[in-house]
Structure 1
Amino acid sequence: MASGSSDYGYGSEARSRAVPAALRAPFDGRTWREFLYLLLSLPMAVLTFVYAVAMLSLGVGLLITFLGVPVLGAALAGCRGLGVVERARARALLRVRVAEPEPVGSRRRRSGKSGLIAWVGALLKSGTSWRHALYAIVHFPWAVFAFVVALTFWVYGWATLTYPLWHWVIPRYTDAPGIQLFDDGKDRSFYIDTPFEVAATSAIGVLIVLAAPWLIRGLASVDRLLVSALLGPSRLETRVWELESDRGTVVDTAAADLRRIERDLHDGAQARLVALAMDLGLAKEKLLEDPDAAARMVDEAHGEVKLALQELRDLARGIHPAILTDRGLGPALSALAARCTVPVTVVVDLPARPAPAIEGIAYFTVSELLQNISKHSGAHSGAHRAAVDVWRSEDRMMLQVTDDGQGGAGTGQGSGLAGLAERLDAVDGLLVVVSPPGGPTTVTAELPWWG
């Protein structure tokens, strides 16, 4: 039974592919969706055109008073609202997804201003708002043209194609024998009424019906361009938006790193140095009274100094180790791998050294991932070995850290990997985690080569 069903499906698909696209086009869902889009464009274009022209004209006319500015703001806000409808219509019928432009409120929040005046000012300064108004004006004549052309070809095509089925209606309910092609005004008229003429008309209708879908698709392509170019964010605005978001991530990351360094210094080396100063003070007091006890205290202080120095070295190594600056990423990652609790294989295949900032981020990324492996090794993840691979792919640097643990890692909110993904995203990087239950876990990071 299942075999028969499968054969039927493949046979149906094969028959569908056997029909040429030119013959399928008049019945294709895309053709009817785009035709419906062109039909709906006319009433929508009339609405948006009348609104935009009336409100903008009113606003410009009132600029001699204070009322002109808020009226212009309201006009642009309305155009943006109509743009939401147009993007939704294009998404549903044209299957084109246009990104939402930057909200006006985000521009106000960045400037630190609030209130009606700030809102109107943000609207008037927004290029996106003015492009919405331009769309409302430019789209109207095009929508009229596309509506007339699409409807004419579509209706005339199907009417002439089916003329053999309904030509009997004309002589039955009128005095004409068929469709009248012309009348020269001298009692000479030409009617399509003979069998040959009816068949020829139907053949012409076939050609029109076959050509109409491609004409409709061409008209709809222009609408796609208009919607994408005028109702979505520009490349420059998108890039500025991304950079501002990345800048916020970088600032937050730097602040978090500073807090971590301060905490490590306060809880580690600083506490040891304070204890060391107290021990040396006590040793100084006992130096004359009990030299042996003072010597023991100095010996203990010497051990504390070594531990404090080791903690300071570890802290400095976590920020930007000297080996990374002096010898590059390969030796620095090998040193990291040597401190991991499981055996780690390191393979670094780079033709040259990347930008220092990218090199530092790559080192930090591998350090965090190896620390995760060390922290969760044993009973938690069961990892027994790991591998680090670094290579260059065109203008990107690729990092891959794998382990044979139990898996289940992810970049969910609040996880360490989520913070690492945000740090990479701030420099146009990418973090991909593949960690199915049962393992293994593979974390791939992608970074720009030059930063």
Structure 2
Amino acid sequence: MATQYGSQYGQGHGYGYGPSGGAGYRDEGAERRHLLPAGLRAPFEARSWRELGYVLLGLPVGIALFTYAVTMVSLGAGLLVTFLGIPVLAGALVGCRGFGALERVRARGLLGLEVGDPEPLRMSGRGVLAWTGAVLRSGASWRALLYAVVQFPWAVFSFVVAVVFWSLGWSLLTYPLWFWVFPMWAGQGGIQLFGDDHHSVYLDNPFEITVTALVGLLLTLATPWIVRALTTVDRVLVHGLLGPSRLSARVVELESDRGVVVDTAAADLRRIERDLHDGAQARLVALAMDLGLAKEKLAEDPRAAARMVDEAHGEVKTALQELRDLARGIHPAVLTDRGLDAALSSVASRCTVPVRVEVDLAERPAPAIEGIAYFTVSELLQNISKHSRARSAAVDVWRSEDRLLLQVTDDGTGGADTAGSGLAGLAERLDAVDGVLLVDSPAGGPTRVTAELPWRR
């Protein structure tokens, strides 16, 4: 699930609160306002003409693609009785993939449709045989072939519909300008509506000419929307058959999430190693040295030795507290034993502002999700203590169907800036498990951060 943000990220590991750190909201009043409604300006918009160009160009492209696909696949199928049929068929599929790449470019340029490249060939070895096998096993190759077959009849239909409606609409709309051609050159009063050699009805008086122009106006206004509906089908075909499959897109997403998880775990290990090296380990080394000196002075100066032992005792207490804090940062025991309610209450008690905690859960989520929820709230409360200048805060946790939601609010100065590594890292950690982070922090406050996580992973 893509991560969403309600404001811009801040610097450092905090929000970056302040009056200048507000979210960059778009000024709707500054947007350009059209004088004509969309229905009236559609025939003159560049988008409508680009879509018409896409439909008109689709017919020759469809003919070329269909001819190539049918010819090459038929040739490959006919040669399957020999060894040459398989590489010929693979070459035909590769050609269809090439046409698919051109079609994605055409859709991007004329329809503004952004479609990613399909999954690449996965070769299990080297050489022609490995390449042929990879082509024949690739679902993207067969989808490109299916597109070549399906696109042609649809291109014919959409071409005919677009040309008929567009030409008929504009010709009827401009009929008052050229109806004189009929009496001067065709020997009749105007467009023949119906009739035979003995009795015919022509559109030749001012009323009929005006009605004809109005009908042409309606057709002209409706044609861009008809063409847009036709290109909607083209969008579905291009996106569904020439883009990456849902499975491959999910694989890419999981690979990206795995990289984030690995980087996060490595960063946590480095943090633990640094905290041990700079904190408890350094204190224990100093403690060992102090105890060694006290042992040497025990016989000569018992008072000094007792004083040094007393100081060492204080160092032991400090080192034990640092180890407890470090263990709590890795995974608190209260979370494992008593769940989120007790663990979050413990975190809230260490916040510098009063925090109301309300956890409404009938059962416990998955342990990994529970741990991520705990550290998310812990990080957000630390940011409130350091940056928000708030007087109070609140933590709410509840379940909605198969999602775990938690919300942290404060009445601070707002303007949460999310461009730095604090909330960015938090969002990446949630995104790695298909979670979402939403930040709403207008300048002046209040700030509301909502996290959404899957209930089970």
TM-score interval for Structure 1 and Structure 2 normalised by the shorter chain: 0.7 to 0.9
User: Alignment identity in percent?
Assistant: 62
CA distance in 2, matches of 1:85, 1:48: 15
- 1:173 equivalent in alignment to 2:185: yes
Q: How far, CA to CA, are the matches of 2:226 and 2:216 in structure 1?
A: 12
Q: Secondary structure at the match of 1:398?
A: strand
Residue matched to 2:435: 429
Task: Please show how residues 30-429 of structure 1 align to structure 2 within 5 Å.
Answer: 34-49=51-66, 64=84, 75=95, 78-89=98-109, 91-92=111-112, 97-101=113-117, 104=120, 126-156=138-168, 159=171, 166=178, 168-170=180-182, 172-174=184-186, 193=202, 206=215, 210=219, 213=223, 216=227, 219-374=230-385, 376-377=386-387, 381-412=388-419, 414-429=420-435
Does structure 2 conserve the Cα–Cα contact (< 8 Å) formed by 1:390 and 1:400?
Answer: yes
* CA distance in 1 between partners of 2:151 and 2:450 (Å): 46
2:397 aligns to what SS in structure 1?
strand
Shift in alpha-carbon separation, 1:164–1:325, aligned structure 2, 3 A? same
Cα distance 1:156–1:77, how it changes in 2: closer, same or farther (>3 A)? closer
- Offset, 1:354: 1.8
Alpha carbons of 1:195 and 1:437: their partners in 2 closer, same or farther (altered >3 Å)?
closer
1:390 counterpart SS class: strand
The answer to whether the 8 Å contact 1:283/1:293 transfers is yes
Alignment deviations for residues 391-420 of structure 1 (CA, whole Å, 9 cap, x no partner): 2233322222233333343221x4211111
Change beyond 3 A, Cα 1:112–1:384: farther
Amino acid across the alignment from 1:100: G
Partner amino acid, structure 1, of 2:150? V
Q: Give the conservation status (yes or no) of the 8 Å contact 1:320–1:360.
A: yes
Letter paired with 1:249: V
Greater RCO structure (CA 8 Å; 6+ sep): 2
Tell me the residue number matched to 2:451.
445
Q: Please give the alpha-carbon distance, in whole angstroms, between the structure 2 residues aligned to 1:59 and 1:289.
A: 100
Indicate conservation of the 8 Å contact 2:174/2:213, yes or no. Answer: no
- Preserved CA contact (<8 Å) 1:388 1:400: yes
Amino acid across the alignment from 1:91: L
Relative to 1, partners in 2 of residues 1:415 and 1:390: Cα closer, same or farther, differing over 3 Å?
Answer: same
Note the C-alpha offset of 1:310.
1.1
Amino acid at match of 1:131: R
Give 1:296 deviation, angstroms. 2.7
| Structure 2, gaps ≥5 residues long | 1-32
- Whether the aligned pair in 2 keeps the contact of 1:161 and 1:205 (CA below 8 Å) is yes
Q: Which has the higher helix share?
A: 1
Alignment RMSD (CA, Å) = 4.5
- Could you say if the C-alpha distance between residues 231 and 124 of structure 1 is closer, same or farther in structure 2, counting changes exceeding 3 Å? same
Please tell me whether the aligned partners of residues 386 and 402 of structure 1 are also in contact (alpha carbons under 8 angstroms). Answer: yes
Provide the C-alpha distance between the structure 2 equivalents of 1:189 and 1:140, rounded to a whole number of angstroms.
Answer: 44
Compute the displacement of 1:362 (Å): 0.7
Give, in whole Å, the separation in 1 of the partners of 2:248 and 2:345.
42
TM-score (norm 1): 0.74
Cα distance between partner residues in 1 of 2:301 and 2:399 = 65
Tell me how far apart the structure 2 counterparts of residues 114 and 193 of structure 1 sit (CA, whole Å).
74
Q: Which amino acid aligns with 1:421?
A: A
TM-score, normalised relative to structure 2: 0.73
The answer to which of 50-59 and 417-426 deviates more is 50-59
The DSSP-based 3-state class of the residue aligned with 2:233 is: helix
- 5+ residue gaps, structure 1, are 1-9
Q: Distance in 2 between matches of 1:250 and 1:150?
A: 51
The separation in 2 between residues aligned to 1:217 and 1:66, in whole angstroms, is 40
Deviation for aligned residue 1:173: 2.6
Q: How many residues of Structure 1 are paired with residues of Structure 2 in the alignment?
A: 421
- 2-side partners of 1:114 and 1:248: how far apart? 28
CA distance in 2, matches of 1:133, 1:284: 85
Shift of 1:225: 2.6
Q: Secondary structure at the match of 1:345?
A: strand
